[in-house]
Amino acid sequence: MTFDLVIRNGLVVDGTGAPRRRADVAVSDGRIVEIGDVSGTAKRTIDAEGLIVAPGFIDPHTHYDAQVCWDPEVSPSSWHGVTTVVTGNCGVGVAPCRPESRDILAGDLVNLESIPLRALQAGLPWDWEDFPSYMAATLRRGVALNIGFMAALTPFRHWVLGEDSVERAATADERDRIQAMLAEAMAAGALGFSTSISGIDVGWGGRPLACRLADQDELSAYADVLKRCGRGLTMTHISGELNERDYALLDNLLERSGRPVTWLGLFIRGDDPESAFRTLDRHAPLHRRGSVPQISCRPMLFSFDLRNPFVFASRPSTARVLNQSVEAQKRLYADPEFRRVFCDEVRAGSSGPAFRSCEHVEISETQSPALKALEGKTIANVAAERGRASGFEFLLDLALEDDLRMRFVAPILNTDEDRLGRLVSDPRVLIALSDGGAHLDQLCDAGYPTYLLGHWVREREVMPLERAVARLTSEPADLFGLADRGRLAAGKAADIAIFDADTVGSGRRGVLRSDLPGGGRRFVMPAQGVAYTIVNGAPVHEHGAYTGETPGRIAAPAGCA
């Protein structure tokens, strides 16, 4: 027999948690045909001697909704052995969209995902209106990875309510119309719907993201769509503290849909490092019914400047700064009354969790030659040199000295290694949160699969390799109902990651590149030790280079598109 591809001599880790074994993997027509001692010929053979052959990794939390329009490689996720990404999270997306609403949806991406407006203007073809046509357009253009589509609630509310979507809840008639559109999206292969009630999710003009205005009647109605479909799940962004409102939301979504719920998210906070574990204990009754919190396995190092102060977005005063000209922003940051209110708000309540002090914030980049010597120093270092207090007032002064071009890096979350290791090992959580395609000039956590394998498996030994692979493959596949992915077995889709267990990994900080449409900058995370990323039997990444192949399909449960 002649196969399309045979991977020989590798150590197969099949995604079930079973011990690795030496075996060959044969592939034809995009599917695994045989695993074992494979005889016969192949159109192509890969020698995986000394390498791990695993299912392709599934990233459940990305924001590649816009990027897939201009980047078929889906970088940098494809570099890290990821073969399937789920988009449309946190209630923000680009479909459905009427022509007159394009600026609004693009503006949401500017504020919430830090995608430069010029990149969106240059890169979004807007060759869709309804949600199924957006899905079809993505495949028509060609994409290297499989794409799972969550129906983000904000664009649906924009479509039906117009400008009122950021002002009020939907009426009964409007709920019915959105229900029908969600049902259409589910029939086309959507994995469910996503929303948010988090105060940090601020859209264009500093207004709340439209999905945040959906009340319980609305969300119950949309959960009913999943109930009728008998499949799918809800993803929601909540506070992360699981307060009374959060708990009630998750409880209602579980009850009305009869389907799983996954939510963002749990972190190790600097000001209360045990809060994540208390939350897990409080969450236990919901977990037993299908509620799964998402975590990041990486320390969150957030890069920002004060031209785009997303890191402070949940503070009310920040709305006055968003989407203003630089000159208007400078006037506000210099105004004594604004400074007093802004700094008090940041210190009183986290602007991103546990970011109430800026002593350890580092100056990462300056533009003025006179300030270059400050790069690499913390706010506390520079304040001491100048005889100043190292508070947010001083950070504002430094930013103003550099015309608001100075960039800072803040260690916000997950900086306690021991506790983060405990969280990563906890079976009650889903390892996710790459946020690939979002926060482009602020961070890049899309390399979390290789970070898990390199840092937590090889260096810290918090779990066996086989367990880590299952956490990256079969666990998200099972949650999202992707029965033909996430495991290596005959008959399954041939999504495969081949890597060197001795070298696999990624760094702590991304690298800035100016490769967005229009020349905009973004952080990317290089990968180490990944030899091949194979999607539906086609290698899309080989030894650090994109092959140009676009074999990606819609990742949907069996029987869907």
Residue 524 belongs to a domain? no
355 confidence band (pLDDT: 50, 70, 90):
low
Q: What local confidence, expressed as pLDDT, does residue 354 receive?
A: 46
From 411, 441, 472, give the residue that closes a domain: 411
Q: Are residues 307 and 180 in the same domain?
A: no
Cα–Cα distances (Å) from 82 to 140, 304, 512, 523, in that order, read 21, 27, 21, 18
521 in a structural domain: no
Shared domain for 77 and 215, answered yes or no, is yes
Q: What is the mean pLDDT of residues 139-166?
A: 97
Number of domains in the chain: 2
174 plus 99 within the same structural domain: yes
Integer Cα distance of 345 and 318 in angstroms:
10
Whole-number mean pLDDT of the chain? 94
Verify that 406 and 448 share a domain, yes or no. no
pLDDT of residue 351: 43
Q: Are strands 192-196 and 233-237 parallel, antiparallel or unpaired?
A: parallel
Q: Are strands 2-12 and 41-47 parallel, antiparallel or unpaired?
A: parallel
Angle, vertex CA 339, rays to CA 337 and CA 341, nearest 5: 70
Residue 203 belongs to domain with CATH number: 3.20.20.140
Q: Phi first, then psi: give them for residue 179, nearest 5 degrees.
A: -55, -45
C-beta of residue 182 within 8 angstroms of C-beta of residue 149: no
pTM score of the predicted model: 0.92
pLDDT at 500: 98
Asked if residue 219 belongs to a domain, the reply is: yes
Q: Which helix (H) or strand (E) holds 303?
A: strand 300-304
- Residue ranges in 473-518 assigned as alpha helix (H): 474-480
Lookup: tokens for 407: 């960039």
Does the residue 247 lie in any domain? yes
Q: At residue 217, what are phi and psi to the nearest 5 degrees?
A: -60, -40
Domain boundary among the residues 353, 383, 411 is at: 411
Query: By C-alpha distance, which of 200, 403, 379, 386 is closest to 305?
Result: 403
Determine the Cα–Cα distance for residues 525 and 446; give it in Å rounded to an integer.
7
Tens digit of each residue's pLDDT (9 = 90 or more) over 283-313? 999 999 999 999 999 999 888 899 988 778 7
* 350 is a domain residue: yes
For residue 197, being part of any structural domain is answered with yes
Same domain, 130 and 115: yes
Find out whether 485 and 477 touch, Cβ atoms under 8 Å.
Answer: yes
Do 227 and 257 touch, CB atoms closer than 8 A?
yes
For 443-477, write each residue's pLDDT tens digit. 999 999 999 999 999 999 999 999 999 999 999 99
Q: Is residue 15 in a domain?
A: no
Question: Within 10 A of 107 (CB to CB), how many other CB atoms are there?
Answer: 18
Is 447 found in the same domain as 381? no
- Phi/psi at 165 (5° precision): -60, -25
- The answer to whether residues 373 and 475 belong to one domain is no
341 and 444 assigned to the same domain: no
Q: Quote the CA–CA distance of 379 and 16 in Å, as a whole number.
A: 47
Domain that holds residue 325: 302-411
Residue 205, token pair as written in the block:
């003009």
Residues 151, 284, single domain; the answer is yes
Whether 189 maps to a domain, the answer reads: yes
> In terms of domains, do 224 and 153 share one?
yes
Read off the tokens for 436. Answer: 């690939």
Same domain, 366 and 442: no
What percent of the chain is helix, strand and coil (3-state, nearest 5)?
40, 20, 40
Are 74 and 220 within one domain?
A: yes
> Would you state the structure tokens that stand for residue 277, as one six-digit string?
């574990």
